[in-house]
């Protein structure tokens, strides 16, 4: 059996999330349907993590095992011709059997985007949360800095999170301005359910003056979801990329960078 | 009666064009409905020109006459709350009664966008025509240069054009690269039906090597639609802006910059 790793982008607006669900259209179902159509195999793909309904990806990664002999360079084109227009495969390559797109992941980067324009940019309306009133972006950046490092992110995850522990490492987090758009980029070894969205919802309170930047530390230390702000809308969230290091350096079944499922 | 001028953006993907039609959803109908909802008046708005089904606008302009006393600064917000998400009013201002958004227009700028990436950018798929095979952009730019100036554009308009004459002036036209996107910007005193799309369809033939840059002059001189290339897909086209000069300098009913209706 071959193990094939695939990089995929999708517009989350039309999906009930990445992972198969009893109801609604999902990215996973569409991809598995395309693979079935192409190879005849009933395959279950392994995503690097789940994304919620409405959340986008410019660089989601999944892998799957197949006995198909289709050359690696053909996979992206062959799948794209069988996929709907809101999913685009960007690349595919053979990886060692040991490779697991979720457990082998080393770093993930998410972006949360806000439209600060007086009126929304009609062409970015599915990709940015519109916030036309004034935000203190300097205070937000100060607040965000408290989250960099290894922390227990219990306060910044949904109470629906079922993870055994909530310690994650944020390697890097910063804001970037692009015209009327304000992007927050955050890179970590893994993210808890709704973590980026709760961080952004809390930072919006900082930006609105309802919280001070240093309150982010107090909320982190309090380890209670009740201390943080609301969960920001899903459509501003984008999975930017997933990093793995060299898959050919994997010599034993990889222990997960985090110990459990990773999703947003 | 006041005369109100409005700048509007819309995502053309969900519309059967700007102008009211017997069938399908149109931008004009949605705006007139919103005005009716706001003022109670049955108003017909005057657009700077029509855009076809699938064509977008970041800066379409229209005007309408109203007896409403709503302050100018409130119009954009009041209309946006009553409009669907794929239409966003950007600005509104009072203009002299003499102002007519089509006849008073001095210059219009369109953009046609191509996605040159190996695979389409999923987030720009409604706004760029995907052309993954090689294009000679230098030859396309050379060909485009032949169109600048005052010319009879009969070869570059739909045979469905019913205009009395086809002479227009192109003030400026150029290509701009933005990552995998290739944008053609073209500014003129007016555009014939499908003119930008036929120009782009013909330049694609130049870029593919089916025509030489200097063939653009031959096609222009031949004054026959049959000489030009295909009409490029509508979704790559964007009405960027419409320029008027100072409306308060209008002292008599304006003669049109072009003598008839303008559309794309």
Q: What percent of chain A is modeled with pLDDT above 90?
A: 88
How confident is the model over B41-63, as pLDDT tens digits?
Answer: 999 999 999 999 999 999 999 99
What pLDDT was estimated at residue B247? 67
User: Alpha helix (H) ranges present in A106-152?
Assistant: 137-145
Whole-angstrom Cα distance, residue B264 to residue B261?
Answer: 10
Buried b (16+ CB within 10 A) or exposed e, A22-36: eeeebbbbbbbebbe
Q: Which of residues 7-36 of A touch B (CB under 8 A)?
A: 9-11
Residues of A in contact with B125 (CB under 8 A): 11, 85-86, 88
Instruction: Tell me: pLDDT of A259 over 50.
Output: no
Domain B2-104 maps to which CATH number in 3.30.70.580, 1.25.40.10, 3.40.30.10, 3.90.25.10?
A: 3.30.70.580
pLDDT score of A255 more than 70:
no
Do the Cβ atoms of A123 and B56 come within 8 Å? Answer: yes
Average pLDDT of chain A to the nearest whole number: 93
pLDDT tier at B258 (50, 70, 90 boundaries)? very low
Q: In the predicted model, what is the mean pLDDT of residues B124-128?
A: 97
What ipTM, to 2 d.p.?
Answer: 0.91
CATH of domain B108-240: 3.30.70.660
B144 within 8 A of B220, measured Cβ to Cβ? no
- The proportion of chain B whose per-residue pLDDT surpasses 90, expressed as a percent, equals 88
At B154-197, the pLDDT tens digits run 999 988 777 778 999 999 999 999 999 999 999 999 999 999 99
Band (pLDDT 50/70/90 cuts) for residue A260 is very low
Residue of B nearest to A90 (CA): B119
- Say whether B108-240 and B2-104 share the same fold: yes
- Per the model's pLDDT, the better-predicted residue between A245 and A140 turns out to be A140
Q: What is the pLDDT, as a whole number, of residue A257?
A: 47
Active site residue B152: no
B86 contact residues in A (CB cutoff 8 A): 122, 125
Consult the annotation and say whether B110 binds a ligand.
Answer: yes
Q: Is B260 exposed, middle or buried (0-12, 13-18, 19+ CB in 10 A)?
A: middle
Report how far residue A49's alpha carbon sits from residue B79's, in angstroms, rounded to the nearest whole number. 41
Between the two ends of chain A, the Cα-to-Cα distance in Å is 31
Which chain A residues touch B90 with a CB distance below 8 Å? 119
Indicate the domain borders of chain A.
2-104, 107-240
Is the CB of A76 inside 8 Å of chain B's CB atoms?
Answer: yes
CATH class of domain segment(s) A107-240: alpha beta
| Helix pair B27-39, B72-80: axis angle to 10 deg | 120
Average pLDDT on B3-13 reads: 97
**Rounded to a whole number, what is the distance in Å from the CA of A126 to chain B's nearest CA?**
9
Instruction: Say if CB A88 and CB A80 are below 8 A apart.
Output: yes
pLDDT at residue B257 is higher than 60: no
pLDDT digits (tens, 9 = 90+) for A176-199: 999 999 999 999 999 999 999 999
Structure tokens at A220: 């982190």
Is the distance from CB of A159 to CB of A135 less than 8 angstroms?
no
Please say if the pLDDT value at position A67 is more than 70: yes
Average pLDDT of chain B? 93
B119 contacts A89? CB cut-off 8 A:
yes
Token pair belonging to B4:
């109100």
Predicted pLDDT of residue B234: 97
Smallest CA–CA distance, residue B25 to chain A, in Å, is: 17
Q: Would you state the pLDDT for residue A223?
A: 95
């Amino acid at each position: 059996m071959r193990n094939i790793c695939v990089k995929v982008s999708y517009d989350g607006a039309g999906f009930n999330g990445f992972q198969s669900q009893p109801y609604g259209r999902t990215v996973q179902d569409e991809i598995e349907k395309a693979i079935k159509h192409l190879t005849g195999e009933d395959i279950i793909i392994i995503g690097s993590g789940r994304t919620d309904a409405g959340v986008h990806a410019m660089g989601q990664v999944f892998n799957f095992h197949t006995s198909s002999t289709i050359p690696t360079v053909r996979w992206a084109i062959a799948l794209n011709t069988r996929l709907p227009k809101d999913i685009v495969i960007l690349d595919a390559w053979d990886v060692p059997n040991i490779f697991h797109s979720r457990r082998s992941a080393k770093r993930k980067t998410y972006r949360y985007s806000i439209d600060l324009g007086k009126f929304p940019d009609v062409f970015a309306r599915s990709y940015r949360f519109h916030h036309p009133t004034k935000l203190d972006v300097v205070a937000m950046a100060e607040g965000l800095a408290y989250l960099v490092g290894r922390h227990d992110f219990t306060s910044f995850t949904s109470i629906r999170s079922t993870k055994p522990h909530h310690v994650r490492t944020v390697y890097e987090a910063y804001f970037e301005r692009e015209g009327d758009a304000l992007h927050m980029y955050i890179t970590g070894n893994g993210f808890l359910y709704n973590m980026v969205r709760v961080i952004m919802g809390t930072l919006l309170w900082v930006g609105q003056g309802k919280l001070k930047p240093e309150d982010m530390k107090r909320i982190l230390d309090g380890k209670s979801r009740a201390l943080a702000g609301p969960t920001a809308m899903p459509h501003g969230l984008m999975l930017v990329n997933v990093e793995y290091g060299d898959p050919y350096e994997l010599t034993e079944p990889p222990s997960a960078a985090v110990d459990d499922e990773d999703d947003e």
